[in-house]
Structure 1
Amino acid sequence: MKVASAVTPQTPRMIAVGAVCSATIFQVETIAPPPAKLLAQRRVQLVDGMAISAAYAFARLGGRADIWSRIGDDALGVEVRKVLSDEAFDVSGLQVVPGAATSQVAIIMDRRGDRLVVPFHDPCADTRADWLPLQHLDGADFLHCETRWPEGAEVALRAARARGIPCMVDGDVAPPEVLHRLMPLADYAVFSDAGLAIYAGCEDVETALRCVGREHRGHVGATCGARGYAWLEQDEVRWVAAPAVKVVDTLGAGDVFHGALALALLEGCDVAAAARFACAAASLKCTRFGGRLGCPTRSEVDALVLTMT
């Protein structure tokens, strides 16, 4: 499925930096404790990753996206490149790492959307980022990074900041040292509630946002699942509630939020309007099985936003 149509020179362009993997999602009725054998009701195979999913949403909702990541020099890496290229991503920044295995992940998901995730990343894969095509930042409108490849994220963030390109970092669950390395480099520090708690050392979202906001020069916010999105504005915490939906699959919902938020900001929305748009996109994604492939269309998101107050 191609992620964008009617692309013009004026179409917003985002570069997404992060890890990429081949994912298989199995849907089961319930996830039983071991030992157990479960019969899957549905299965989908896709190329996945936090940055990939954000880029997919950005493009599907009206932008275009480049992918900067790493794959192994194995048959799976060839397949990953072809899939992303077929989906109309620019993959010129997809680096082949000699002697490395392409990452894989198996995801077992129950009917409520709860899941068990089993990833494999080659521990011997070269993590250097000195090959990144930083010249391609010229002409880009936005940079989005996540924490699974911190070496690449840091290099790209510093280069983008030097060019005055707005940057967003997805502060999901990660080692504290990685979060503290990357989040200060973001113009838009958009955490998950769990990632925010790790970064701030505080479970209460509003208290944690104020704590981070005292040191961060840009936007600070947190995705909070069904509660919606919270962000700090002039030392006050504001909220946009997520619309109520029947949840089938939450995989990739936070990433869809990031991609939709970035696009809305580039289209000139203020933070509140951008957050409503992103909450609508993420909520609709949760109603559909298939990870990022459940990302809604622009017309679906726009229609849901009209119902939100």
Structure 2
Amino acid sequence: MKKLCVLGSVNADHVVRVPYFPQAGETLKGGAYHIAYGGKGANQAVAAARVRDRSLVSVDFIACIGSDEIGIAMKQAFERDGIYTDHIVEIADQMTGIAMIQVADSGENSIVISAGANAKLDEKVVEAHQTIIETADCLLVQLETPLQAIEKAVKIAKAHHTQVILNPAPAQPLSDELLAHIDIITPNETETALLTGVHVTDEQTAQQAANVFHQKGIQTVLITLGAKGAFLSENGKGEIIEGFKVKALDTTAAGDTFNGALAVALLEGKTLQQAVVFAHKASSISVTRLGAQNSIPQRAELN
């Protein structure tokens, strides 16, 4: 059985519907409000767990939660999805991370995060659980937890021939040293512009951006383009792989669903092109539903 290790954040999402995103100083009358389980790391772990063939792939999750009821409830929910939770650390006197999410009528979202226990996912936590990274076939990481710990985790992975997939979100500058340890990077257009200086507007500029990543040592670049699909470049040769046309209700966790499904598909032996189509299927279903983890589909729905 192949082993996926996800390292990342856990958030309780406070979600409110809005007609549009307010300007500075503007007060809007919101619509439906609810609390959902989220966090980029948690979303990706849940997506992987739900869309995998359970006879082929296992999912471990390294994360930190607070000493509060919602953190414990989320851990129990992960267990119900079949995620191994032995490496989720409860941090005393800390709250589980939260995200304040506005979802506009257009389906787009705006998110503000308070790290809480996520800020405690440091190098010591990584060291305490490094055996899981060393024995994994793939490590999937994002950027909602401390960067030093992420750097340590990817170095451990690289030293033990564990494939590393980096979803560089939320967007922030990254060192060339970190990028040199990445096998597959999956930025969106905004993250691509920040990391490469190239604004992706068409296939030509997508290849220019991908080439910047290739020059930094990353063999496989996958730039997600929303409704347009994704641009896949390997060793300087790229192509657009189209997504599925759906009516988007809420794009929260769409990218996370894509990344979790991509990692699973590769571990199951699919080609990169097949894995991208598989990931497109999962994310396209997720945007037709409200919320983060509750929008993520099960394997049977993709089949």
TM-score, structure 1 normalization: 0.85
Corresponding position of 1:159: 156
Corresponding position of 1:135: 131
Which of 57, 73, 92 is the equivalent residue of 2:47?
A: 57
In the aligned structure 1, how far is the partner of 2:115 from the partner of 2:96? 7
Corresponding position of 1:118: 112
8 Å CA contact retained: 1:260, 1:281: yes
Offset, 1:83: 3.4
C-alpha distance 25-180 of structure 1, shift in aligned 2 (>3 A): farther
In the aligned structure 2, how far is the partner of 1:273 from the partner of 1:105? 33
C-alpha distance 278-164 of structure 1, shift in aligned 2 (>3 A): same
Offset, 1:179: 5.8
Corresponding position of 1:23: 13
In the aligned structure 1, how far is the partner of 2:29 from the partner of 2:297? 30
C-alpha distance 146-242 of structure 1, shift in aligned 2 (>3 A): same
In the aligned structure 1, how far is the partner of 2:78 from the partner of 2:282? 21
Is 1:36–2:11 an aligned residue pair? no
Moved over 6 A (4+): none
8 Å CA contact retained: 1:100, 1:125: no
Offset, 1:145: 0.5
Offset, 1:217: 4.1
TM-score, structure 2 normalization: 0.86
* Letter paired with 1:269: K
| SS of the residue 1:135 aligns to | helix
Offset, 1:110: 1.9
Which of 85, 104, 116 is the equivalent residue of 2:79?
A: 85
Which has the higher relative contact order, 1 or 2, with Cα contacts under 8 A spaced 6 or more apart?
2
Which of 132, 146, 149 is the equivalent residue of 2:142?
A: 146
| SS of the residue 1:238 aligns to | strand
Number of equivalences: 290
Offset, 1:281: 1.3
In the aligned structure 2, how far is the partner of 1:124 from the partner of 1:265? 28
Is 1:285–2:286 an aligned residue pair? yes
Corresponding position of 2:245: 244
Corresponding position of 1:99: 93
Where do residues 160-199 of structure 1 align in structure 2 (5 Å cutoff)?
160-176=157-173, 178=174, 180=176, 182-199=178-195
Corresponding position of 2:210: 209
* Letter paired with 2:140: H
C-alpha distance 243-30 of structure 1, shift in aligned 2 (>3 A): same
Offset, 1:275: 1.0
Corresponding position of 2:254: 253
In the aligned structure 2, how far is the partner of 1:119 from the partner of 1:18? 14
